[in-house]
Every structure is written in C-alpha cells, then in structure tokens.
Amino acid sequence: MATLTCGDSAYRVAAKSVRADQCSSPVAHRDLLQEVALLSEFHNPSGKTAKIDPEKMWVHPNIARFYGFVVEKDNMHLLMEYAPHGDLHNYLTSCRHLCIESGTMATDQDREFVRFALDVSQALVELHKQKIVHRDLAARNVLICENRVAKICDFGLSRDIYKEREYVTPAAETDRARLPIRWMALESLQDGTFTTKTDIWSFGILLWEIATLGGTPYPGMSADREIISWLEEGNVMEVPEDCCQELGALMCACWSASPEARPRGQEIANQLSSLLALEAEGYFFTPICYESQTDAETDVDDVVMENSEENNNEAN
C-alpha cells in the first residue's frame, strides 16, 4: 500500500506489476500493457490529456478504481484502489474458521455474501454496457474494498468488443497461453469464443465459490481435457448442499448450454436485489463448513492450453 498525492488530495493505492516469476514472460508483460491501455481509456474516456486527474476520472462503485501508472526501469506499475480486506477468494477462505468454531455460518455473514454477488453483477452490467468482456471473472479477481464493497478488478484478459467485434489472436500469442479453465464457458473452451454470455457463465462459477467458501470448481478433476470432455457430455456442477433454491436455480441458469438461455447481468442484479429485500429466515448460501483446499488443488486455477483461434463476438 502507498499514498498517491494529487494536489490537496491523497489516495491509498496498491501497485500492480508483473510478478517476479513472470518477468521473462512476454505474455505477462503484454497483458499488463493491455490492461493499462484499457483502464486508461475506460476511466479517462476523453483522452484529451496524457496526465490523469483522479478527481475527473470516471468511477463506478463496483469496479476497482484506476489511478494511473508509473514506469520504473524496465517494469510498469498500475496504481489501483487499495483493498483493505483483500480479494474475495481469500476473504471467503478466511471465514472458514467461523464455521469451525460454531459449526455454521452467521446469518449476517451469509447476507453479506449475497451483497458481494450483487456488487459483482452490477459491475458486469456496466462492463457489458461499455462493450467490455472481462473473460477472467473469479473470486480472486474481486476486491473487498472500504465498507466491504465488492469490486471487479484484473482486466488483463479483457477485450473491448465494440472495437474488436471479431478478432483472431496471432499464433505467437496463443501458443502456451494460460487460461482459467475452471471458470470458462463451454464455448470458450471449445472454440475460443468470448461474449457477455461467457462472463455470465463465470459469474455462476463465482456464486459456487461463494457457496463453498472459496472451494475449487470441479473438485477432484484436473483442469485440462477432463473438464472439457465432462462438460461436452452435458454435465455441470451440482449446486452446493443446502444452498437456497433461488441461488441454486441462478447458478444453473448461468451454466445453460445455450448462451442465449443465460440471464443478462441486469436480470441477475434484479434477482439478487429481490433476495436481499426478503426478511426470510435461514440461509441463502451453504451454512456448513468446507475443508480447506490443498496446495495441489489451488495451483491448477490456470493451465496451459493451445488455442488455434480466439473470437470475441459482439455483446449480446
């Protein structure tokens, strides 16, 4: 965490750069540069000045704020909003000790999880309105910021589909590309298609992560051809035990084989808002405890795949 001073204003920021173990990777540097370009245009759409003024930048309450970037020798640092509570995945796993102590999860904590999901859905509505597909929506890419507000971050894989309605990534870029297999829609895995509807599939996986307090999707399966073949057979993950009917149905709707059958972001936001408005007893998500994932399981979030073609189609 650092402090960014602009005139009379000071902001707490976090610096994001290429990890030390990826400094030799041209793909990692390319993704960071791409994220800088997209966020610069997204938060400063006028493009009238190279100097970014945080007071005049566009802000959405559920998208992590971008303050600019700095270049130091051969490395670039993105200056992003500081999240005192870390990312959603770590937040979820840190809540497991509450279950261990009491055997269940507190109802107020449960409602907070629904609010996190609502926050993310509202961010997706705005991204899709701006013709942007995130392509890597997962609990690890959601920050829990001040006042415990959830905000989408990490736009390294995002694409502006207004400018790039269809494109084919050069073979040099797709070779040995790392893809978040466990969060990807079937059509993305099969032919590299990414649309607003593939983000919706990933949102369903994020709901599953919340319900399992940070569990690894497709437990017991390797993130390679095994998952793809299993999905091609028409399978999807089971809704976690004791998850309420409404959220279970929403997960399954997000995983519909037909992209057109999946709900839109605004429909999801409306459903979650309605749930939070209820004064119902009981739990929305699973109240029971889940054992921690092993290192072996959590290390397979991204795997190497070879994609011959990657299309980014117009938003639905």
Yes or no: say if 83 and 144 are a contact pair by the CB < 8 Å rule: yes
Residue of 316, 44, 314 whose CA lies nearest to 163: 314
3-state SS of the chain is: CEEEEECCEEEEEEEECCCHHHCCCHHHHHHHHHHHHHHHHHHCCCCCCCCCCHHHCCCCCCECCEEEEEEECCEEEEEEECCCCCEHHHHHHHCHHHHHHHCCCCHHHHHHHHHHHHHHHHHHHHHHHCCEECCCCCHHHEEECHHHCEEECCCCCCEECCCCCCCCCCHHHHCCEEECHHHCCHHHHHHCEECHHHHHHHHHHHHHHHHCCCCCCCCCCCCCHHHHHHHHCCCCCCCCCCCCHHHHHHHHHHCCCCHHHCCCHHHHHHHHHHHHHCCCCCCCCCCCCCCCCCHHHHCCCCEEECCCCCEECCCC
190: region left, alpha or beta (phi > 0 left; psi from -120 to 50 alpha): alpha
Catalytically active residues are 136
Q: Which residue has the tokens 């797709």?
A: 174
Angle formed by the axes of helices 245-254 and 265-277, nearest 10°: 170
80 — phi, psi (to 5°)? -115, 165
